[in-house]
């Protein structure tokens, strides 16, 4: 689907950039007063995915022991200036990164923040601003303090609302004059399948029980609304978004039974969290969804004041990650299953998949953008997208045409959606510099425009080298999406 017409589609001021998360690139996991996060307690490498899938492990971690590669990341903690300079060379208009909660509140339940942590992020923000790059902050990206998971039982505990409120308030008060965009929780709906990273809940703290997941979500929704309140009181122009995983979901065929199952999966996985965060109220299908999973709205601890907060402080925009689409088939006994970004599904015969089995579907991004924009009528922001691949170093430059093709097709799909009338704010492809993979805990699943010389066992010079996609993306940004 090569774009024929070269008319400018992307609006002036479109936020081209890239995205990362603290726990996946910073390293310095115990530096300058930082506490341990749930991500620090995750095993690196092969065990990571099975641990995530089972939710069955304990949070014990020997804090003297270095786990490769996640405790080291790519040493961005020391090298952020060099990295941001490279982003500036590509012409980034914005850079999405997360603040590690544990650099600011090492345990999570303190009243007073750790100044060294705030100072670190201030340097990152200032460096971005020097290059004319808008910082886009994820307040919480799979890296809540381990103490809140272990001692408080994770997000199902209402006390976390106040801890998050204090944390968000400290961050927003410190940075609201320099930052225009943030989002409250990364991929909040991922807890549907994997509550460990996003809600700090493992089996022993009740992750297997959907009532706990729903309660944890509710507490997060209230915490998110409080962050919106704080942010807007500081600056009504500050844009605070939600952030969900969106996987466009098709029925495998036109059988109404599969269509209905697809509708339900969409409600439960793609929309539930955003419906509350964007519309400010629980959707009509809430009770049925909770009953499907063995609980009910009455069983949750929800106060009238909570519902007021949700209603008064909805988010300003809809941020989402989009990597793949999924299909539903409930009429076949053993449909052919596929893997995916924390959500699997059924194989779609029309699509190819990445090496990790994620089904590549640019057309699905156009659909996602239309669905989200028309459902909520609020600006949308693609804050993650990209192809995880094993890059082969041959000669002096990595020839990652496969990545360029993936991104080009997704940008074309965004252009189509804009022509459909969608108000799209920006595009921040995931892992703009190679970093540690969230699901595999490995370095070798790479997304970056910039290659980082580091392998899964911690060997390598950590040198940064632009890939072919680096120069390609630079042109895309320069031409505001006209040259793909």
Closest separation between CB of residue 40 and ligand BGP, Å?
A: 15
Size of the residue set binding ligand BGP (CB under 6 A):
14
From the list 101-109, 252-260, 398-406, 435-443, the region that binds ligand BGP by CB under 6 A is 435-443
- Rounded Cα distance between 462 and 178, Å, is 30
Q: Shortest distance, CB of residue 64 to ligand BGP, whole angstroms?
A: 26
21 scored as a contact of ligand BGP (CB under 6 A): yes
Judged by CB, which is closer to ligand BGP: 140, or 251?
140
Four-residue CA torsion sign, 204, 208, 209, 214? positive
Nearer to ligand BGP, 70 or 166 (CB): 70
> Smaller CB distance to ligand BGP: residue 141 or 279?
141
Of 247 and 300, the one with the shorter C-beta distance to ligand BGP is 247
CB of 73 to ligand BGP, least distance (A): 12
Contacting range for ligand BGP; rule: CB under 6 A; set: 86-94, 395-403, 437-445, 451-459: 437-445
Q: Is 341 in the site for ligand BGP (CB under 6 A)?
A: yes
Q: Which of residues 444-483 bind ligand BGP (CB under 6 A)?
A: 445
Residues 297-336 that bind ligand BGP (CB under 6 A): 321
Strand-pair partners of 244: 320
**437 touches ligand BGP by CB under 6 A:** yes
438 lies in the site for ligand BGP, by CB under 6 A? yes
**Please, what is the minimum distance in Å from the beta carbon of residue 257 to ligand BGP?**
30
Cα gap 205→156, rounded to integer Å:
9
Instruction: Examine residue 187 and tell whether it contacts ligand BGP (CB under 6 A).
Output: yes
Instruction: Assess 73 for contact with ligand BGP (CB under 6 A).
Output: no
441: contact with ligand BGP by CB under 6 A: no
Instruction: List CB contacts of 228: < 8 A, sequence separation 6 or more.
Output: 184, 240, 313, 314, 315, 316
Q: Binding to ligand BGP by residue 96, rule CB under 6 A?
A: no
Give the tokens for residue 410: 């997704």
The reply on whether position 385 binds ligand BGP by CB under 6 A is: no
- Provide, rounded to whole angstroms, the least separation between the CB of residue 438 and ligand BGP: 3
From 74, 76, 38, select the one nearest 57 (Cα to Cα): 38
388 lies in the binding site for ligand BGP (CB under 6 A): yes
Tokens of residue 440, six digits: 């595999």
Scanning 38-46, 99-107, 412-420, 430-438 for contacts with ligand BGP by CB under 6 A, the matching segment is 430-438
Nearest to ligand BGP of 310, 324 (CB atom)? 324
C-beta of residue 336 within 8 angstroms of C-beta of residue 250: no
Q: Which stretch binds ligand BGP (CB under 6 A): 115-123, 201-209, 433-441, 470-478?
A: 433-441
By CB under 6 A, residue 77 contacts ligand BGP: no
Quote the least distance from Cβ 420 to ligand BGP, whole Å. Answer: 26
Q: Does 384 interact with ligand BGP (rule: CB under 6 A)?
A: yes
The total number of residues written for the chain in this structure = 484
Q: Which two tokens stand for residue 171?
A: 């961050």
Q: Which is nearer to ligand BGP, 295 or 321 (CB)?
A: 321
The residue (of 204 and 444) whose beta carbon lies closer to ligand BGP is 444
Among 439, 443, 454, 476, binds ligand BGP (CB under 6 A): 439
Q: Which residue has the tokens 């997704």?
A: 410
| CB nearer to ligand BGP: pick between 145 and 280 | 145
- Give min distance, CB of 172 to ligand BGP, in A: 22
Nearer to ligand BGP, 258 or 326 (CB): 326
Active site residue 384: yes
Whether 346 contacts 252, CB under 8 Å: yes
Contact with ligand BGP (CB under 6 A) among 102, 140, 186, 262: 186
**Active-site position among 26, 143, 187, 384:** 384
CA 213 to chain centre: 18
Smallest gap from Cβ 223 to ligand BGP, in A, equals 18
Specify the residue, 197 or 276, whose C-beta has the smaller distance to ligand BGP. Answer: 197
In whole angstroms, give the CA distance from residue 301 to residue 158. Answer: 9
Distance of CA 286 to the CA centre of its chain: 24
Question: Site residues (CB under 6 A) for ligand BGP?
Answer: 21, 24, 186-187, 321, 341-342, 384, 388, 430, 437-439, 445
Give catalytic residues, as residue numbers: 384
């Amino acid at each position: 689907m090569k774009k024929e017409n070269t008319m400018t589609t992307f609006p002036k001021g479109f936020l081209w950039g890239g995205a990362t998360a603290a726990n996946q690139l910073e390293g310095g996991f115990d530096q300058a007063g930082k506490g341990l996060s749930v991500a620090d307690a995750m095993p690196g490498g092969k065990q990571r995915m099975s641990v995530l899938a089972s939710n069955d492990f304990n949070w014990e971690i020997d804090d003297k022991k270095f786990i490769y590669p996640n405790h080291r990341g790519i040493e961005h903690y020391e090298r952020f200036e060099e990295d941001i300079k490279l982003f500036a060379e590509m012409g980034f208009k914005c850079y999405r990164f997360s603040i590690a909660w544990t650099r600011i509140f090492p345990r999570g339940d303190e009243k007073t923040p750790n100044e060294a942590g705030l100072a670190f992020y201030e340097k990152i923000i200032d460096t971005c601003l020097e290059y004319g790059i808008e910082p886009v902050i994820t307040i919480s990206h799979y890296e809540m303090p381990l103490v809140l998971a272990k001692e408080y039982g994770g997000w199902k505990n209402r006390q976390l609302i106040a801890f998050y409120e204090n944390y968000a308030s400290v961050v927003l008060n410190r940075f609201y004059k320099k930052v225009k965009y943030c989002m409250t929780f990364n991929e909040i709906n991922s807890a549907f399948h994997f509550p460990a990273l996003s809600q700090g809940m493992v089996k022993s703290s009740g992750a297997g029980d959907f009532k706990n997941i729903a309660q944890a979500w509710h507490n997060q929704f209230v915490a998110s609304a409080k962050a919106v309140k704080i942010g807007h009181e500081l600056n009504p122009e500050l844009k605070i978004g939600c952030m969900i995983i969106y996987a466009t979901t098709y029925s495998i065929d036109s059988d109404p039974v599969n269509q209905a199952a697809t509708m339900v999966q969409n409600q439960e996985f793609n929309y539930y969290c955003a419906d509350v965060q964007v519309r400010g109220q629980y959707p009509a299908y809430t009770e049925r969804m909770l009953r499907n999973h063995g609980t009910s709205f009455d069983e949750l601890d929800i106060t009238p004041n909570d519902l007021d907060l949700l209603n008064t402080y909805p988010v300003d925009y809809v941020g989402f990650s989009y990597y793949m689409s999924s299909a539903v088939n409930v009429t076949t006994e053993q449909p052919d299953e596929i893997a995916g970004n924390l959500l699997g599904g059924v194989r779609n015969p029309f699509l190819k998949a990445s090496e990790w089995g994620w089904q590549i579907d640019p057309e699905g991004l156009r659909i996602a953008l239309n669905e989200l924009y028309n459902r909520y009528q609020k600006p949308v922001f693609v804050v993650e997208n990209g192809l995880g691949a094993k890059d082969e170093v041959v000669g002096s430059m990595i020839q990652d045409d496969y990545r360029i093709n993936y991104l080009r097709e997704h940008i074309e799909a965004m252009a189509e959606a804009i022509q459909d009338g969608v108000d799209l704010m920006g595009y921040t492809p995931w892992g703009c510099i190679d970093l540690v993979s969230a699901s595999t805990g490995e370095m070798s699943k790479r997304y970056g425009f910039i290659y980082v010389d580091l392998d899964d066992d911690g060997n390598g010079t950590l040198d940064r080298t632009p890939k072919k996609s680096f120069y390609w993306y630079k042109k895309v940004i320069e031409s505001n999406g006209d040259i793909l």
